[in-house]
Structure 1
Amino acid sequence: MARRSKTKPDGTADGIVCDTAAGVQEPVDIDTLGLDAEAAQDIAIARKDEGRPEKATHALASMLGPAFVAAVAYVDPGNVAANLTSGAKYGYMLVWVLVVANCMSVLIQYQAAKLGVVTGKSLPQILGERMGAAGRFLFFMQAEVIAIATDLAEVIGGAIALNLLFGIPMLLGGCIIGAVSTLLLFLQGGETHKIFERLVIGLLLVITFGFIAGLFMDPPNPLAVAEGLVPRFSDGASVLMAASMLGATVMPHAIYLHSTLVNDHFGTGVDRPSVPEMMHGSRIDVVWALAIAGSVNIALLVIAANSLHGMGGTDTIEGAQHAITQVLGPAVGTIFSIGLLASSLSSTSVGTYAGSEIMKGLLRVKVPMWACRIVTLVPALVVLAFANNPTEALIIGQVVLSIGIPFAIIPLMRYTHDRAIMGKYADGTVKHIICLAVCAVIVLLNLVLIVLTAMGKA
């Protein structure tokens, strides 16, 4: 952002004029010079709309949406299984894992949005431009395994919800989830993108109500919840559970997709906002969306710790729902099942969209949505047909997701620090160090998970 002095008629200094990416000259007070560039942009944008609250509110609302769609991935049925299992088995002990994971998610998703608004490209596209044919194919294969593990959790969760609500057999329920989610995907793209975005956000609100309702029926002890904020493990199995929760909370496909969503939302024409405006809006979008998603995840764990801890049969979603019905009443149990169904429908649609974008960016081919849907749906239907405990398969899927996280976040952090890609919007040294620290924590936890699993101690 170019800066130069702005003077009054008498020759005295009156601040700074900033040339934004859109060529608009915006005054910034000298006081903002002590802040980093992104903070100074936020102040400049806020001051520009001072005295025009209605316009500012409308402008902000127009910026919201992409992060809320991505946030659906953070409240999918895999979260439900991991968080309910954690709360029922370990009480409040692993609340801190969700808090840390959610803070990491805010940083990671903002970086993905920032990459998209600055470059106008998705993370898979940028990866594809910097890899040879063999590298693109290998990277695509690991990403596709992650996509299959993701859809496994989402389809199984939806089948369980339909079984709980209507008694529909699991395999048939999985087919219904696959069919309905495919219909939702036809709204993605072109003029109907906004409809898809609003439908997914509406489902997110249903999810939030469905999974938080139990807290109001049986409020937890605040001191007991606070004790769960102290980082600790009890055994190797708790480390495996923490890794599973991390895999459910920090979602690789949401990272790949978010950089596409912002460009779908803001467009590429003359009406596209300036880069500073999009970055400002994306920060607010991400914080609000993941505050909701994080609250839902913590609520699930707290409900299980408060109402299901020590009860038998709560290591499956079905068992947890039956226990919730017994302890909190049939109404809460039904609301929970509706939330689970909404979670499945929205997250499986978003996951398939992410898979399509990954394939397009890495393999440079555009595959129809229905074909991407079949590739990830078939393994989930096989599990539903033959697995004795679908929830156990769902937990294993979350561990696979955890292993795939570094493949998404390490390139993301590298590219957002690269001036050749980001120009003047590249991350500064301090922020890059923070990003590297987040990567290191996640990779270390995954290495511990792999070692414990290989030794049979997890």
Structure 2
Amino acid sequence: MLDTLKAKPLRRPRGGLFLLLGPAFVAAIAYVDPGNVAANLTSGASFGYLLVWVLLAANLMAMLVQYQSAKLGVVTGKSLPEHLGARFTTRSRRLYWAQAELVAMATDLAEVVGGAIALYLLFQVPLPVGGLIVGIASMALLSVQNRRGQRQFEGIIIVLLVIISIGFLAGLVLSPPDPAGVLGGLVPRFQGANSVLLAAGMLGATVMPHAIYLHSQLAKDRHPDARSTPERLRQIIKATRVDVIIALLLAGAVNIGMLLLAASTLGGISGTDTIEGAHAAIVEHLGPVIGVVFAVGLLASGLASTSVGAHAGATIMNGLLHIRIPLMTRRMVSLIPAIILLSVGVDPTWALIVSQIVLSFGIPFALIPLLRLTSSREVMGEHRDGLALRLSSLVSVGLIIALNALLLWLTFTGHA
């Protein structure tokens, strides 16, 4: 029996592939949501290739933390919110949940607004109506998970991820980036306060707190037998590592591709500080077909990411407060703020960028506990993070906190 368990996941091509196409692809959707589109397009249009290094660094950090989150769920059989809920006092749990819920709400806002913009670009649907359609469609996606299980849900999300990738990268075929500009963008630097503000938004859009909370839940649910034998656990951890690398490489390529497309196509063009303006410029310079493909990618991004965001919010609430609310009920309630904002005429692209800045401030609250748990021999046993991984995590957390502190200083001193 043990030999069968050892051979099944990694020696058989089908089993290996099946393991790879799992939880990390669901988590990766959070890294290509409409908030990324707004932040990356604005960055490329405003500063060219200047902030390519931010996306590269953020994606490397994302690989690191998503692997740690998934490994925590696989090794312990508990999600990150469940671990925190078991360690905090009642008051601390409620306060922690409040900030995590704020992050989840900011995430949901970005995703619904992005999907509504896509429907407007494709069919001229009014933004509030588009937001409602996106909410209803996300309920349909969530019902797949409720009725058919996580694996069917993962399959749909992977298909949407492919559509997103095509939608956001197709324009690079007609407008390839300048190689010298890309190389120059790998050198860490800023260009004024606005570039710092955008960098914080890009970081918040790329390293997603709700994805950190959720991935541990997805991994433990997908591999309930991971701890059946030590050999099986090592196999699942290895497969999880590959899963994260492949999924986040794809998400990172999409993010960087969006910035490169904006830098090569939208630089110096007025009005490209909004998604609608960027889309109009793409249509003008690359043709209506690329414009439609881009809008379809944006719609797929909104639909997929808002479903994943609702799942993450439910995971956070259940783990910290021990309150289980049906996903459909949560989806309906969390849809209300986005519909209100769209109805009162708030600029949707600005709302997207601000939501990503809110996310960036939630990152340390997810990363620091994750780092402590995965570094603990008491929690992880022999699978605790090694020295190199612990040091890399500390550097990542330090960089994120430093960037957010700089952003606060610029904001409150009137420089941003």
Superposition TM-score tier, normalisation by shorter sequence? over 0.9
* Residue 425 (structure 1) aligned with residue 393 (structure 2): no
121-130 vs 435-444, greater mean Cα deviation: 435-444
Q: Which residue number corresponds to residue 410 of structure 1? A: 368
Q: Which residue number corresponds to residue 313 of structure 2? A: 355
d(CA) in 1 for partners of 2:9, 2:384: 31
d(CA) in 1 for partners of 2:174, 2:411: 38
Decide which of 114, 133, 136 is 1:179's aligned counterpart. Answer: 136
Q: Which residue number corresponds to residue 368 of structure 1? A: 326
Q: Which residue number corresponds to residue 150 of structure 1? A: 107
Decide which of 306, 315, 318 is 2:273's aligned counterpart. Answer: 315
Normalised to the residue count of structure 2, the TM-score between the two structures is 0.96
* Residue 117 (structure 1) aligned with residue 74 (structure 2): yes
- Asked whether the equivalents of residues 112 and 256 of structure 1 are also in contact (C-alpha less than 8 Å), the reply is yes
Decide which of 243, 267, 274 is 2:200's aligned counterpart. Answer: 243
Query: Offset of 1:262 from its aligned partner?
Result: 0.9
- Asked whether the equivalents of residues 77 and 153 of structure 1 are also in contact (C-alpha less than 8 Å), the reply is yes
d(CA) in 1 for partners of 2:27, 2:84: 20
* Residue 252 (structure 1) aligned with residue 209 (structure 2): yes
Query: Offset of 1:437 from its aligned partner?
Result: 1.2
d(CA) in 2 for partners of 1:268, 1:369: 25
Which protein shows a greater Rg? Answer: 1
368-377 vs 412-421, greater mean Cα deviation: 368-377
* Residue 168 (structure 1) aligned with residue 125 (structure 2): yes
Query: Offset of 1:189 from its aligned partner?
Result: 4.3
- Asked whether the equivalents of residues 148 and 377 of structure 1 are also in contact (C-alpha less than 8 Å), the reply is no
Structure 1 runs not aligned, ≥5 long? 1-22, 27-44
Decide which of 45, 49, 61 is 1:104's aligned counterpart. Answer: 61
* Residue 79 (structure 1) aligned with residue 36 (structure 2): yes
Higher relative contact order structure (alpha carbons within 8 Å, sequence separation ≥ 6): 2
Q: Which residue number corresponds to residue 342 of structure 2? A: 384
Decide which of 59, 76, 86 is 1:129's aligned counterpart. Answer: 86
- Asked whether the equivalents of residues 115 and 259 of structure 1 are also in contact (C-alpha less than 8 Å), the reply is yes
Letter in 2 for 1:230: V
Letter in 2 for 1:248: A
CA deviations over 1:395-433 (Å, ceiling 9, x no partner): 111000000000001000000011111111111333212
Decide which of 388, 399, 409 is 1:451's aligned counterpart. Answer: 409
CA deviations over 1:270-319 (Å, ceiling 9, x no partner): 98982101110011000000000000000000000000001000000011
**Using a 3 Å threshold, how does the CA distance of structure 1 residues 270 and 286 change in structure 2: closer, same or farther?**
closer
* Residue 63 (structure 1) aligned with residue 19 (structure 2): yes
d(CA) in 1 for partners of 2:392, 2:163: 34
Q: Which residue number corresponds to residue 342 of structure 1? A: 300
CA deviations over 1:340-382 (Å, ceiling 9, x no partner): 0000000000000000000000000111112221332111111
Secondary structure, counterpart of 1:188 in structure 2? helix
d(CA) in 2 for partners of 1:189, 1:287: 28
- Asked whether the equivalents of residues 67 and 289 of structure 1 are also in contact (C-alpha less than 8 Å), the reply is yes
- Percent of aligned pairs sharing the same letter: 52
d(CA) in 1 for partners of 2:215, 2:226: 19
* Residue 193 (structure 1) aligned with residue 167 (structure 2): no
Q: How big is the alpha-carbon RMSD for the aligned residues of Structure 1 and Structure 2?
A: 2.0
d(CA) in 1 for partners of 2:74, 2:51: 35
* Residue 325 (structure 1) aligned with residue 260 (structure 2): no
305-314 vs 388-397, greater mean Cα deviation: 388-397
- Asked whether the equivalents of residues 147 and 376 of structure 1 are also in contact (C-alpha less than 8 Å), the reply is no
d(CA) in 1 for partners of 2:147, 2:234: 25
Decide which of 230, 233, 241 is 1:275's aligned counterpart. Answer: 233
d(CA) in 1 for partners of 2:147, 2:12: 27
Q: Which residue number corresponds to residue 442 of structure 1? A: 400
Q: What is the aligned length?
A: 414
d(CA) in 2 for partners of 1:193, 1:350: 12
- Asked whether the equivalents of residues 9 and 235 of structure 2 are also in contact (C-alpha less than 8 Å), the reply is no
Q: Which residue number corresponds to residue 167 of structure 2? A: 210
Letter in 1 for 2:348: P
Which structure's residues are more often helix, by fraction?
Answer: 2
Structure 2 runs not aligned, ≥5 long? none
